[in-house]
A and B are shown apart, each in its own frame.
Chain A
Amino acid sequence: MQAAQLEPAVSCRGLRKIYDPRGRWWGGGPGGGAGAAVVAVDGLDLGIRRGECFGLLGPNGAGKTTTVEILEGILAPSAGEVELLGMSWARDEVRLRERIGVALQETRFPERLSVTEVLNLFRSFYPRSRPVAALLADVELTEKRDAWVGKLSGGQRQRLAIACALVGEPDILFLDEPTTGLDPQSRRQLWDLVLRFRGAGGTVVLTTHYMEEAERLCDRVAIIDHGRIIEEGSPAELIRGLGAQHVVEFALEGAGGAGAGLAESDLLALPAVTGARLAGDGACALTVSEPARALPALIALVSGRGAALARLETRHATLEDVFVTLTGRHLRDG
């Protein structure tokens, strides 16, 4: 048992997925017609420990969904190996399916089935399953047990999807963009659910493009772009990796940074500034280790050029800043 605890919950090596554009003419749908092969995942290695919450963070189209669907055994990789709980999809599919829980990015359950009926359908697939009443309590849907799926709100449907993933009392829970499109309250409700599952010893693998979500839930994150991992670590480590914990954002009156003759090199020369980024709209962001030293110097520089500040904000650095620093793009630019 001791050895089993040490082997990773999920590990994969050299994962690649190439979508072949041929052979789709009959079914129609996305990617129909001629075109080049698309590399969705381009050599990915992961090791996810038991009992941790691991996040795959990246913009839309980065390859997050393809990666989790390969880990879930729904898609076959073009190359690479996947092991879950020391088992592989090729050898142990049936046993493995019973030990993982999956919530896809989007599943529309039958509109005219009740919540209880959907849960009983999923319970029938598992040799050992959690009672409906307990599942309903887990996801706070007890009052909706007889409501049709079609009558549920977005947040309630998402919680039903997670209840379906929890039916078999899984060791690993996979969540693909679990809170996309939800209102803040539903989002927080879902976060609590994930934290409770992890608190009870479960392993969580989730994808998201919300930084706040990753920082709140994840013990470790991998930042993915163009099908590759570009950085991996705990959210705090990644932010520390910027060399500074604070971000100062400002904009100048009138023509903006360029008009006042401010160059990146001017800004980098300021004390306690470790990074500077001029945005297209004339706004500017600095990563700063000590705002108390950097701010007076910045104000002096601006007024020395005869310009005035239109806006000045300081905040803690986030994973978004890590992503922008690494790629030069924002996560939600897609």
Chain B
Amino acid sequence: MARAHPVVQLTLMRLRELSREPGTLFWIFGFPVLISIALGLAFRNTGPETVAVGVLPGVPAAVTGALTAGGVLVKPLDEAAARSELRAGRVAVVLVPPAPGAGDALGYRYDPMRPEARLGRAVVDDVLQRAAGRRDARAVRDEIVREPGARYIDFLTPGLIGMNLMSGSMWGIGWVLVNMRVRKLLKRLVAAPMRRRHLFYGQAIARLIMIPVELGVILIFARLAFDVRMAGSWLALVLVSVTGSACFAGMAILVASRAQNSETMSGLMNLVMLPMFVLSGVFFSSSHFPEAMQPAVNALPLTALCNGLRAVIIDGAGVAGIAGSLAVMGVWGAISFVVGLRLFRWG
């Protein structure tokens, strides 16, 4: 057999290891699909939900009758049960009988910090006031819209892709390099006349080959199961995915540059990845964080990747629309790669 180029052999080594390891195949294919299914079902849009209300003993039967007639689910509860149901969010509001000496004023017990509790209070109040004879003072009408890409699963899909691309680079390059160091394989390779950069080229090419697979699994599944559509330019999607992977590949090399054992490495990986899982808007929008944190949150590479992917997949952005994201990831990737190479320990 003819001698192949070292970069080809190093790429093949990585791809062979990957494809012969059942565990990694699960993390690439099975895991994102399972998360899509679980979260897609949990947050599927089933139309306006029925409001559930707890009713303490002593509330007049006329009130509960009016609520039931108004489409509200009524649960008779004692004091202790009411407390726990309210805490668990199984009822939005608890109705409290009129206090002695306070006339016939009903009590609404709810936590205004919970959106569904505020909604429940408004619905319950509306039903009771109408039953008591209130008439609308102003004529209104509803205009219902069904905006594509507005469902939770539409929001989640690009986030999952971003998370998967980050994990793919961090584990697939960082973890693998540390493993090679632990096994003295790095040392053995540099004892042979291998060009050191060829090892990194091999890792990078193997990563590039995996990107379409990682993207494809989630996109195809989301399309088939939840009819999630890709709205923007495919070129922009490829660009943002490749830049994101390269950025995290650079960070993986930096994180892996000194670690001498896998325990240290998993600690360092968690240190880098966990804050971004929380802050970067994988599962919910990062705009929920306070205004003061926004500049820091937006400077994170995973935020840039998720924003870029959402811009392309949901908002239909082209290449121009993701320039900012590309720049943020480019800076992170380039700096970590250069620093990582300087610090990199082969032995």
Contacts and interface: CB of A to CB of B under 8 A. Distances in A.
A278 B346 CA distance: 47
Size class of the contact patch on chain B: 20 to 34
Nearest to A31: B260
Nearest to B18: A112
Contact of A30 (B5, B8, B260): B260
A28 B260 contact: yes
Nearest to B258: A27
B263 A120 contact: no
Nearest to B257: A27
A132 B346 CA distance: 27
Contacts of A74: 187, 190-191, 346-347
Contacts of A168: 192-193
Interface string A101-120: 01011111110110001001
Contact of B13 (A69, A98, A104, A117): A117
Nearest to B265: A28
Interface residues of A, number: 37
A292 interface: no
A110 B17 contact: yes
A117 B12 CA distance: 9
B51 to A, nearest CB: 55
B141 interface: no
A113 B9 contact: no
Contacts of B20: 112, 148
Which among B16, B184, B188 has the greatest number of chain A C-beta atoms within 10 A? Answer: B188
A79 interface: no
A123 interface: yes
A202 B269 CA distance: 46
B16 A26 contact: no
Given A29-B260, A75-B347, A121 B13 contact: yes
Which among B9, B184, B191 has the greatest number of chain A C-beta atoms within 10 A? Answer: B191
A129 interface: yes
Interface string A15-30: 0000000000011111
Contact of A121 (B1, B10, B260): B10
A128 to B, nearest CB: 10
Interface string B1-15: 101111011101100
B190 to A, nearest CB: 7
Contacts of A29: 260-261, 264
B83 interface: no
Nearest to A98: B193
A102 B260 contact: no
B185 A123 contact: no
B194 interface: yes
Nearest to A167: B192
Interface string A127-168: 001001000000000000000100000000000000010011
B267 to A, nearest CB: 9
A210 interface: no
Interface of B: 1, 3-6, 8-10, 12-13, 16-17, 20-21, 183-185, 187-188, 190-194, 258-261, 263-264, 345-347
Given A107-B187, A168-B192, 13 more contacts: A29-B260, A72-B191, A105-B184, A106-B184, A107-B184, A108-B183, A109-B183, A113-B16, A121-B9, A122-B192, A124-B4, A124-B5, A124-B6
Interface of A: 26-30, 69, 72-75, 94, 97-98, 102, 104-110, 112-113, 117, 120-126, 129, 132, 148, 164, 167-168
22 contacts: A27-B259, A28-B263, A28-B264, A29-B260, A29-B264, A30-B260, A73-B191, A74-B191, A74-B347, A104-B184, A104-B187, A104-B188, A105-B184, A117-B16, A120-B4, A124-B3, A124-B6, A124-B9, A125-B193, A126-B193, A148-B20, A168-B193
Q: What are the 4 closest A-B residue pairs judged by CB atoms, nearest first?
A: A29-B260, A27-B258, A97-B193, A108-B183
